[in-house]
Amino acid sequence: MEDAYARSISEVLEAFRVDPTKGLADLQVAENARTYGRNVLPQEGSTPFWKLILKQFDDLVVKILIAAAVISFILALIDGETGFAAFLEPSVILLILAANAAVGVITETNAEKALEELRAYQADVATVLRNGCFSILPATELVPGDIVDVGVGCKVPADMRMIEMFSNQLRVDQAILTGESCSVAKELDSTVTTNAVYQDKTNILFSGTVVVAGRARAVVVGVGSNTAMGSIRDAMLRTEDEITPLKKKLDEFGTFLAKVIAGICVLVWVVNIGHFHDPSHGGFLRGAIHYFKIAVALAVAAIPEGLPAVVTTCLALGTKRMARLNAIVRSLPSVETLGCTTVICSDKTGTLTTNMMSVSKICVVSSVHRGPVSTEYTVTGTTYAPEGIIFDAAGLQLEFPAQFPCLLHIAMCSALCNESTLQYNPDKGNYDKIGESTEVSLRVLAEKVGLPGFDSMPSALNMLSKHERASYCNRYWEQQFKKIAVLEFSRDRKMMSVLCSRKQQEILFSKGAPESIIARCSNILCNDDGSAVPLTADIRAELESRFHSLAGEETLRCLAFALKRMPTGQQTISFDDETNLTFIGLVGMLDPPREEVKNAILTCMAAGIRVIVVTGDNKSTAESLCRRIGAFDHVEDFAGCSFTASEFESLPPTQRALALQRMVLFTRVEPSHKRMLVEALQHQNEVVAMTGDGVNDAPALKKADIGIAMGSGTAVAKSASDMVLADDNFASIVAAVAEGRAIYNNTKQFIRYMISSNIGEVVCIFVAAVLGMPETLVPVQLLWVNLVTDGLPATAIGFNKQDSNVMMSRPRKVGEAVVTGWLFFRYLVIGAYVGLATIAGFIWWFVYSDGGPKLPYYELVNFDTCSTRETTYSCTVFEDRHPSTVSMTVLVVVEMFNALNNLSENQSLIVIPPWSNLWLVGSIVLTMILHLLILYVEPLSILFSVTPLSWSEWKVVINLSFPVIIIDEILKLLSRNVRGRRFNLRFGKRDLLPKREIRDR
């Protein structure tokens, strides 16, 4: 029943044909179970393992590599190769793809845990009335129409409509569902609000929430998927994971690369059609197959096989650095996504605030002899720890607060008129509450005021253990005063009272809403001398003015305290006794903001990141918090920056779009609103980070570009998120964003490094094929270069130092291509040089080397006809492994020098020397050691078709390789001056790499 909140009790009971005194009969239970289903969140069918594996290969670049492996194997068999040689190249390619697929499967398997953990918030048992008898049944057996009793500490087992209340009030903590910082009072009356949100449905008990005060009876109106918790589950199922900006750019690059590879391969094959008849191939068909093999080698050369592994490794290194900043990354791509975040939608309760109610102001009357003069005290401390200082109106610290009569009696009343518990939890290392947050904050206030009569009291209290200190002063007052009778809080009185006895003297202590307490007072306690004087109209007006100031301007939750001396020996109290009270004072409390939040928000503003506070609390309370943390500092009038969910939904589409661009605060929201906000911002091409800690935040966390859960939050929120803040500190997000930006800059550098290297390989093979030279590099050599000699330095580039001004610039645009304009030209030049140097090494050995045949250039480019002509040399010279070894070594060494070029995009090696990144230096040394191993260790040299080089050959290799540094230094110089920038403008404002629409939402 979706509208149970709007119906009367009799209408709801009649709809389910249930007698509230007898409950459902067994026949009705069976019928309702068939109609509505079981009270469980259905098990969602998980993706079959084989589908998860296949999904990892659904990528164009991966498909090209698979095709290259299959073709390579077929061609090897056609050529008559058998055994290890035939399987080597395809096996290496498939092993790489298998490793990447394994990482993907593990990541996706972990993501499905969020739905399972929703079940933890369902109650285990329920007290149910059936067939006229109460019994305790498993909560899974509940059906709509069941009559259920709930009390303090009960977890609500299903969505239920209240039908009867057995206490003066019933309060429920529904923070996991709505994010409200305080428990919510429930009532029996139907709700008439149109478009009611969860907070408006005050007669409904929601599944998974906890009763913190009172006892009541309710009728089940929703089970399983038809509960508020079930709707969150459905929202999570409907939410598809967003593709990260880097993944989008890599996908676009892969598509572009596939087209280029296909074009070049076809071009190479077509250009050499005339050579298919060459005698050396043994026929037209074999000639076609030979050049097809060259085309396949070209494909292997063009694809940076190591790129996925290097990106994954770099992001993994970033997660380790983030973990040191208390940001635990669950999804690797989210590390990079942080770098382009433009909007952070932050939950208020527990994220920007401590989620611990704390008394911050005390208001008492000093004396009436000089007119009604009220005094305010400020209380520090924002947690449940009994640590804080009380300052007077002049800002001076009170050494002994308990010496002041009003503060002393407020502490007494806070300790005695209280049913909560405060205790130290050694496992968590913090103070835990049991009961209402407001009452626990009064317990903490009593500890901060301390005890009277001991000059050494502050230091003596500090000497206690944390377990003893938690409630030392509260226990003192409970030992001094014996509780005799209690009048519980009621909605009509808005107060509670307790009768206590001490030394044959009975005192009534009362606390409650200021308007209720003041109306019942006839006297007032003076803070200067402890005297009680009549409460005059002037003093009453002064107190009401102070109360409205604290509750209105400062949006504090206010409580008033009073006492009354009762006749000796009185053992009972009634509502009639709550008159002629003596007013003690007012306290104002709030869920305080975290101390570091204000600076974190200012840093976000400087970095061009907008912060939107999202909360289920009321508008005035949230606006007060936003003023405290500086969220409104950049706007003169925040009227157009603060909206409730209903206000926002009522706006026309045009005004709603404008409101989104200015929005700073979004209040009275429920889970669907959070998800709607994320989607609306994403439609405006914003990159959205959503923070949260409750079950209610899970759908929005999953939908956002990056979901950030709090470490103390629910397991559901953590599982639906990409990142978890171990310290619940909003400021940690700022540090994580800075790290994300730095990681992206480094990612960009190594991607460019790998692209320029692969361009070199393509140029080498393409030029050799067009000129008609022998095969310069065999596929297995290209694989070695792409995976090892490219991969290690590329990974080390990820350790480049973070720029000092990384958080002083606006977020990069999501559509920013990895390689654009002038940069593409730069790396094209570098790649061309890498390829030509590799070809030059090959030609040098045949034409000029003392250890080579010193052939004329003509003979080299016409090697195919060697067997048909009379020559002064043996045709077997073209099968020598020296020339390809020189080429491969030139390619490796030139790429090592090129890696040094990527220490910075535009800064010279003189400014940023190689030793600024020792990881890169180490990777270059390791790469060269590995290359020497395959040259000089015989089993490896045979495997890779290479041979040892002499010192004279090494000198030529170095001479051909080093100029790449000089060329890039010249290009960097052009980048730093006006000519480079002009070229960029002329060469293309558009990306050279194609880009699709950023979002197809």
| Predicted confidence (pLDDT) per residue in 300-318, tens digit | 666 665 566 666 666 667 7
CATH number of the domain at 1-238, please? 2.70.150.10
pTM higher than 0.85 for the full model?
no
Identity of residue 382: T
Query: What's the pLDDT tens digit per position in 8-26?
Result: 999 999 999 999 999 999 9
Residue bearing the bigger pLDDT, 616 or 156: 156
C-alpha 717, offset from chain centre:
10
Identify the pLDDT of residue 117: 44
- pLDDT of 369 > 80? The answer is no
Query: What's the pLDDT tens digit per position in 735-759?
Result: 888 888 877 777 777 777 877 887 8
Identify the pLDDT of residue 995: 36
Let me know: does 964 contact 833? Beta carbons within 8 Å: yes
Residue bearing the bigger pLDDT, 667 or 65: 667
Once rounded to an integer, what is the mean pLDDT over residues 659-665? 91
Residue bearing the bigger pLDDT, 399 or 243: 399
Once rounded to an integer, what is the mean pLDDT over residues 900-926? 85
- pLDDT of 915 > 80? The answer is yes
Pairing of strands 133-138, 210-213: unpaired
* Average pLDDT of the chain, as a whole number: 81
Pairing of strands 390-391, 373-379: antiparallel
Once rounded to an integer, what is the mean pLDDT over residues 867-872? 72
Identify the pLDDT of residue 83: 58
For domain 358-590, the question of CATH label 3.40.50.12240 is answered with no
- Inter-axis angle of helices 228-238 and 671-683, nearest 10: 20
The two domains 358-590 and 738-804+813-979 share their CATH topology (first three levels equal): no
Least confident of 98-107, 557-566, 865-874: 98-107
Residue bearing the bigger pLDDT, 605 or 124: 605
Identify the pLDDT of residue 113: 46
- pLDDT of 58 > 70? The answer is no
Say which CATH topology domain 738-804+813-979 has.
Calcium-transporting ATPase, transmembrane domain (1.20.1110)
In the set 146, 278, 347, 693, the catalytic residue is 347
Identify the pLDDT of residue 997: 33
Least confident of 205-219, 393-407, 531-545, 791-805: 791-805
- The band of 279, judged by pLDDT with boundaries at 50, 70 and 90, is low
- pLDDT of 380 > 80? The answer is yes
- pLDDT of 517 > 60? The answer is yes
Residue bearing the bigger pLDDT, 211 or 716: 211
3-state secondary structure of 792: helix
- pLDDT of 814 > 60? The answer is yes
- The band of 902, judged by pLDDT with boundaries at 50, 70 and 90, is confident
Residues 6+ positions from 4 with CB-CB distance below 8 Å: 12, 161, 204, 221, 222
Query: What's the pLDDT tens digit per position in 234-246?
Result: 666 655 555 556 6
Pairing of strands 521-525, 482-487: unpaired
Identify the pLDDT of residue 300: 65
User: Measuring CA to CA, which residue among 197, 204, 225 is closest to residue 156?
Assistant: 204
Q: How far is CA 651 from CA 194, 623, 764, in A?
A: 16, 20, 62
User: Measuring CA to CA, which residue among 177, 347, 343 is closest to residue 692?
Assistant: 347
- pLDDT of 447 > 80? The answer is yes
- The band of 518, judged by pLDDT with boundaries at 50, 70 and 90, is very high
Percent of the chain with pLDDT over 90: 26
Identify the pLDDT of residue 119: 43
Q: Rounded CA gap, 277 and 878, in Å?
A: 19
Identity of residue 527: N
Domain ranges of the chain: 1-238, 327-353+594-728, 358-590, 738-804+813-979
Residue bearing the bigger pLDDT, 804 or 162: 162
Superfamily of domain 327-353+594-728: HAD superfamily/HAD-like (3.40.50.1000)
Q: Retrieve residue 669's tokens.
A: 């929201």
Q: Rounded CA gap, 779 and 520, in Å?
A: 93
- pLDDT of 408 > 80? The answer is yes
For the question of residue 637 being annotated catalytic, the response is no
Identify the pLDDT of residue 230: 78
Residue bearing the bigger pLDDT, 946 or 329: 946
- pLDDT of 391 > 70? The answer is yes
Identity of residue 434: I
- pLDDT of 247 > 70? The answer is no
- The band of 421, judged by pLDDT with boundaries at 50, 70 and 90, is confident
Cα atoms found within 13 Å of the Cα of residue 676, Cβ hemisphere only? 13
- The band of 990, judged by pLDDT with boundaries at 50, 70 and 90, is very low
Identify the pLDDT of residue 959: 94
Percent of the chain with pLDDT over 70: 81
Once rounded to an integer, what is the mean pLDDT over residues 329-338? 72
Once rounded to an integer, what is the mean pLDDT over residues 765-786? 78
Q: What is the DSSP letter of 580?
A: S
Q: How far is CA 657 from CA 32, 74, 584, 649, 651, in A?
A: 45, 58, 51, 11, 9
- pLDDT of 112 > 60? The answer is no
Q: What is the DSSP letter of 749?
A: H
3-state secondary structure of 398: coil
C-alpha 1001, offset from chain centre:
22
Pairing of strands 505-512, 557-566: antiparallel
Going across the sheet that includes 642-644, the strands are 327-329, 723-725, 706-710, 688-692, 343-347, 610-614, 665-667, 642-644
- pLDDT of 780 > 90? The answer is no
Q: Rounded CA gap, 667 and 665, in Å?
A: 6
Q: How far is CA 515 from CA 15, 33, 531, 582, 677, in A?
A: 41, 49, 23, 14, 38
